[in-house]
């Protein structure tokens, strides 16, 4: 599976038309302790850069944006009762939604892990 990142710190792992998305370790560190995840509904149509769902932390409520256009096929219901999973394992167990991707080309302007690392350095 290839993994890509957005400038807003979402990640998406892609295999053909199937994808999994979440938010990056950097994003989670910025947010601090996550206290609530408002998961997207299964079947929700999402547009690249549009809002998928909201995450609340002790600091703020933040919108999570879609890295690609498509449809939500599953939401990680574990996060409902255990939002701390997002802090503990943001890029694995703390995934937010599984997606059906409309256009695989959507990832072309996203960042590879190396590019994303560079991008994070530029934010310092």
Report whether 42 contacts 75 (CB < 8 A).
yes
* Per CB under 8 A, 60 contacts other proteins: yes
User: CA 61 to CA 83: how far, in whole Å?
Assistant: 13
Q: Which of 19, 40, 70, 83 binds other proteins (CB under 8 A)?
A: 83
Residue closer to other proteins (CB basis): 1 or 60: 60
Report whether 65 contacts 8 (CB < 8 A).
yes
* Per CB under 8 A, 121 contacts other proteins: no
Of 17-25, 26-34, 101-109, 112-120, which segment contacts other proteins by CB under 8 A?
26-34
> CB under 8 Å to 75, separation ≥6 — which residues?
39, 40, 41, 42, 96, 97, 98
* Per CB under 8 A, 47 contacts other proteins: no
* Per CB under 8 A, 122 contacts other proteins: no
Min dist. Cβ of residue 100 to other proteins (A): 24
């Amino acid at each position: 599976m290839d993994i890509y990142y957005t400038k807003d710190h979402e990640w998406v792992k892609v295999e053909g038309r199937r994808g999994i998305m979440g938010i990056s370790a950097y994003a989670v560190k910025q947010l601090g302790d996550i206290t609530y995840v408002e998961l997207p509904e299964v079947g929700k149509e999402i547009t690249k850069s549009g809002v998928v769902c909201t995450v609340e932390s002790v600091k703020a409520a933040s919108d999570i944006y879609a890295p690609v256009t498509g449809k939500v096929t599953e939401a990680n219901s574990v996060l409902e009762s255990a939002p701390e999973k997002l802090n503990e394992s943001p890029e694995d167990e703390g995934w937010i939604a599984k997606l059906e991707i409309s256009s695989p080309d959507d990832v072309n302007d996203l960042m590879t892990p190396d590019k994303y690392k560079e991008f994070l350095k530029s934010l310092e």
